[in-house]
Chain A
């Protein structure tokens, strides 16, 4: 059972979340070519080690999160909100605490 520290809810069982996918994918503009879209939708690295991935706290706060997880050990290095502006707010408040 992976335990994920949701920035909004605290540490929870992974069964509260659903796995999204590779968080490093940058989706092209809607009017980009089919080739660009093909690469973004279908091409994936099969990473052994630390991977950046999205998780959805679907049975919790329903926020999408970016999780740095080791695919071998399941160690989670960091969790942040996927929404960039929100993530920045969190980073700022963490700095304040520090």
Chain B
């Protein structure tokens, strides 16, 4: 894709385990104010459309769309919700600019995960009501099934998964936004409480609160408003089978298809060589590895070996989740993919601080909607 649309502003707030001092509206407002300042736009005057990302049961409000315009400066403007991953919302904003009908569009996603008292019950409420829910099992069993099959088919080990946790939590120590940085060893992960074999407590990313806003602009406006526009080179998104009965338990097909679409747009044939780094979903440790393979960042079954070799560390050949990922920053529910994309933007701008990568030009963000879905989205950016 030629340089048609760019990200010209980003803003963020929260990224903590708890944010009791602010309401969700106040959290979103803080992120929005920063993004608009960063982009040099006045939302009341300049922004033509807004997209927010939300699901009713994660908010505890039916038709949450009602409660978004005020704190985004979007009153009496085109606003709509995408009930999807943060990156789906981002793509919805991007498509609107591509139509030519809009020049500047903003996207917002947030998490007030700390306000949900029964998160696993709500996750269970997403399962098929007739076939699966009557089993009354904690939905993390789905991750256990998938992880077991993935390890078995690819020869990946639990130790390699634990290395992902150690790497990402270590990276997070150098990211001031990250809530869960830590120096931990492989044994800590292996010995942590078993949740659904082979998935242990530390294989799972802990939840966090936070809000992210981004401003997108068409080429002319982007060049006029921004010294460092970050260009959108490709996007892709895909759903695989929702049904547990006939989904692929080894391969993340949604990720492979989403990435193929994005690579095609970006004209990328060998992602491992043409991309400089990636920020990809690591809701669970094995997901980072499974997603790396699906995204063709390595050959099937090799992701675990790359982690062992240190290739995906910050100083490695192909850094993966230099931000610390969800394992290190905290899982922001449907805002997680936008958090991955935020890191890509900061890296490409050279604004990542202590964990800045050197000489990066092109990066990939990939988000997955979490259990029990097979829904993902990919975005490729370059500076």
Do A and B originate from a single complex? Answer: no
